[in-house]
């Protein structure tokens, strides 16, 4: 048995990588899954360095559940009091990261002195951290939690900014990036749609620094974006190599098995239930919530709906809404809806174990906001989607999923940001669950499911990509 000094020496010999995700569970979750693969298959130890202002119970629970080779630390708080109250999240994340660089330098110096630190990995809104990594002589990479379409857009953004006079939402023709599905201007990444906002200037700042990375680890895979993958794999002067390491998704937890909604799904026919959820931060207006509810009812299909209070729930003068909305989102549903749909639908307030629901045999469709984590979870479960994007890169994801990957149906009107009427909701739901378009999407997503899962297996494409990166890290540090 090794003594304490021997164990410490062994730990120093093991290669170590530090990740620095910017705030948001959508950024943290795939980094955690990637860290698990580095530990289990490539012999690494990992430290995840977070920003103090991103702390949440969900984040704390996730980080505290990780195996011992994966540690975490939070950088000290920085003041953000001088930011305008209406600052967008891209601005807040970027400023917090920039002001935390001295603390990050101290943290990385400490890790480097006590471990065999071979690489540092920032993420898409943290490019200023490359300065610190370079000062410390560390290989510095970027983890990109979204898809190749979004990466391609950001790599082209400096050129687009220099050559475009109007707002991107006013472009007369869809934006055509090499190998990508054409994206209408209004569907582009949300912080790009107001070029006068600080959020746009920060995203442009990061885009200018993207090429300083020594490589991109992207949470996507060839089969879902084949033409884009082909283009980005071709060597280009000044552009770092791209490593497709996805799909990185969470697994269902044993504790989820006791959830009421899973017991309800046990009683439903195979692939008969539409799962309706807009992610942890997604909400609809009261008017759209009403149309969605009545559309689900009109469709005649079984559904499991994670119901949240509407985004404009606080605007009403009724005390019930202002006081109770967070506790009772069902109070915003149309009168009689709950009773009328009791035989075919289940309503769940605020949260459901999404991975477990998507992987249940009774789930046959997913009405989704098209966040990339949720999209990959749906693909890995083999479930086709109805695309209902809300913010961030979700609108361009919806275009890619419907017109490129062809695994999603998109309601008419949703593309323009208009109110989607109940009749259109009912049409899309019926088509997804029972129609020819839904059948084709189901067949296509089954193909992607197979490709995504096999890629993560030993000798698969994602496994080989990560193995190539880790060998590069080890050789550069030796």
Judge if 135 and 282 occupy the same domain. Answer: no
Judge if 73 and 184 occupy the same domain. Answer: yes
Q: Are 119 and 134 in contact (CB under 8 A)?
A: no
Is residue 442 included in any domain, yes or no?
yes
CATH number for 306: 3.40.50.2000
The low-confidence residues of the chain, meaning pLDDT below 50, are: 1-2, 314-325
Residue 435 CA to residue 301 CA, distance in Å, equals: 12
Is residue 101 included in any domain, yes or no?
yes
Phi, psi (5° rounding) for residue 176? -115, 105
3-state secondary structure (DSSP) of residue 72: strand
243: β partners: 217
- Structure tokens that stand for 306 in this block: 């994670």
Q: How far is CA 188 from the centre of its chain?
A: 16
- Structure tokens that stand for 75 in this block: 């950088």
Is residue 6 included in any domain, yes or no?
no
The 8-class DSSP code of residue 332 comes to G
> Given the structure tokens 């029972």, which residue do they identify?
434
- Options 45, 123, 128, 187, the catalytic residue: 123
- Options 20, 27, 206, 360, the catalytic residue: 27
Cβ density class 100-139: b for 16+ within 10 Å, e for less: bbebbbebbeebbeebbbbbbbbbbbbbbbbbbbeebebb
Is residue 447 included in any domain, yes or no?
yes
Edge-to-edge strands, sheet with 116-123? 70-74, 45-50, 15-20, 116-123, 139-144, 216-218, 242-244
- Structure tokens that stand for 183 in this block: 């994206």
Judge if 419 and 463 occupy the same domain. Answer: no
Judge if 230 and 280 occupy the same domain. Answer: no
- Give the pLDDT confidence score for residue 325 in this predicted structure: 40
Can you state the angle between helices 25-42 and 372-381, rounded to 10 degrees? 50
Judge if 413 and 428 occupy the same domain. Answer: yes
Phi, psi (5° rounding) for residue 270? -60, 135
3-state secondary structure (DSSP) of residue 100: coil
> Is 123 a residue of the active site?
yes
For residue 147, CA distances in Å to 29, 243, 397, 467 come to 15, 12, 8, 20
Judge if 306 and 335 occupy the same domain. Answer: yes
Judge if 172 and 55 occupy the same domain. Answer: yes
Is residue 3 included in any domain, yes or no?
no
Is residue 198 included in any domain, yes or no?
yes
Judge if 135 and 241 occupy the same domain. Answer: yes
Residue 335 CA to residue 294 CA, distance in Å, equals: 10
Greatest Cα pair distance, the chain, in angstroms, is: 71
Residue 122 CA to residue 49 CA, distance in Å, equals: 10
Is residue 1 included in any domain, yes or no?
no
> Is 369 a residue of the active site?
no
Residue 470 CA to residue 459 CA, distance in Å, equals: 15
- Give the pLDDT confidence score for residue 320 in this predicted structure: 24
Q: How far is CA 363 from the centre of its chain?
A: 21
Judge if 59 and 158 occupy the same domain. Answer: yes
Judge if 101 and 165 occupy the same domain. Answer: yes
Judge if 265 and 324 occupy the same domain. Answer: yes
Question: How many domains, in total, are found in the chain?
Answer: 2
Phi, psi (5° rounding) for residue 193? -85, -5
- Quote the domain boundaries for residue 224: 11-247+458-477
- Give the pLDDT confidence score for residue 58 in this predicted structure: 86
Judge if 259 and 219 occupy the same domain. Answer: no
Residue 420 CA to residue 435 CA, distance in Å, equals: 20
Count the neighbouring beta carbons within 10 Å of the beta carbon of residue 298.
Answer: 15
- Give the pLDDT confidence score for residue 322 in this predicted structure: 31
Hey, what's the torsion of the CAs at 42, 106, 75, 99, to 10 degrees?
A: -120
Is residue 4 included in any domain, yes or no?
no
Helix spans in 214-308 (H): 226-233, 260-266, 286-299
């Amino acid at each position: 048995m090794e003594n304490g000094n021997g164990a410490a020496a062994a730990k120093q010999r093991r290669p170590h990588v530090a990740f620095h995700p910017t705030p948001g569970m959508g950024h943290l979750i795939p980094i955690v899954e990637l860290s698990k693969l580095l530990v289990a298959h490539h012999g690494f130890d990992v430290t995840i360095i977070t920003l103090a202002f991103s702390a949440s119970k969900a984040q704390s629970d996730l980080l505290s559940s990780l195996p011992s080779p994966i540690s975490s630390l939070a950088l000290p708080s920085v003041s953000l009091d001088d930011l305008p109250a209406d600052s967008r999240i891209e601005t807040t994340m970027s400023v917090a990261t920039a002001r935390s660089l001295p603390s990050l330098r101290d943290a990385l110096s400490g890790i480097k002195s006590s471990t065999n630190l071979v690489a540092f990995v920032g993420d898409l809104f943290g490019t200023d951290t490359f300065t610190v990594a370079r000062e410390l002589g560390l290989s510095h990479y970027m983890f990109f939690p979204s898809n190749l379409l979004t990466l391609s857009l950001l790599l082209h953004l400096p050129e687009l900014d220099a050559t475009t006079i109007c707002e991107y939402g006013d472009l007369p023709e869809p934006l055509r990036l090499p190998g990508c599905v054409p994206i209408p201007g209004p569907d582009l990444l949300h912080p790009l749609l107001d070029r006068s906002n600080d959020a746009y200037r920060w995203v442009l700042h990061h885009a200018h620094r993207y090429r300083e990375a020594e490589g991109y680890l992207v949470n996507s895979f060839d089969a879902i974006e084949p033409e884009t993958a082909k283009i980005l794999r071709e060597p280009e002067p000044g552009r770092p190599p791209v490593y497709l390491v996805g799909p990185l998704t969470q697994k269902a937890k044993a504790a989820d098995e006791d959830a009421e909604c899973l017991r309800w799904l046990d009683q439903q026919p195979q692939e008969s239930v539409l799962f309706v959820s807009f992610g942890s931060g997604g909400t609809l207006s009261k008017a759209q919530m009403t149309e969605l509810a009545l559309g689900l009812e009109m469709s005649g299909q079984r559904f499991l709906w994670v119901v949240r209070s509407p985004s404009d729930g606080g605007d009403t003068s009724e005390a019930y809404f202002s006081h109770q909305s967070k506790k009772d989102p069902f109070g915003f549903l149309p009168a009689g809806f709950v009773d009328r749909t009791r035989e075919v639908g289940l309503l769940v307030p605020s949260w459901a174990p999404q991975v477990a629901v998507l992987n249940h045999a009774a789930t046959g469709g997913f009405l989704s906001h098209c966040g990339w984590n949720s999209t990959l979870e749906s693909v890995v479960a083999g479930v086709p989607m109805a695309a209902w994007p809300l913010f961030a890169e979700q609108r361009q994801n919806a275009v890619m999923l419907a017109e490129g990957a062809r695994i999603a149906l998109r309601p008419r009107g949703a593309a323009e940001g208009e109110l989607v009427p109940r009749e259109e909701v009912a049409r899309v739901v019926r088509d997804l669950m029972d129609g020819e378009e839904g059948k084709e999407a189901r067949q296509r997503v089954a193909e992607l499911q197979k490709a995504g899962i096999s890629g993560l297996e030993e000798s698969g494409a994602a496994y080989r990509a990560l193995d190539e990166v880790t060998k590069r890290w080890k050789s550069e540090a030796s």
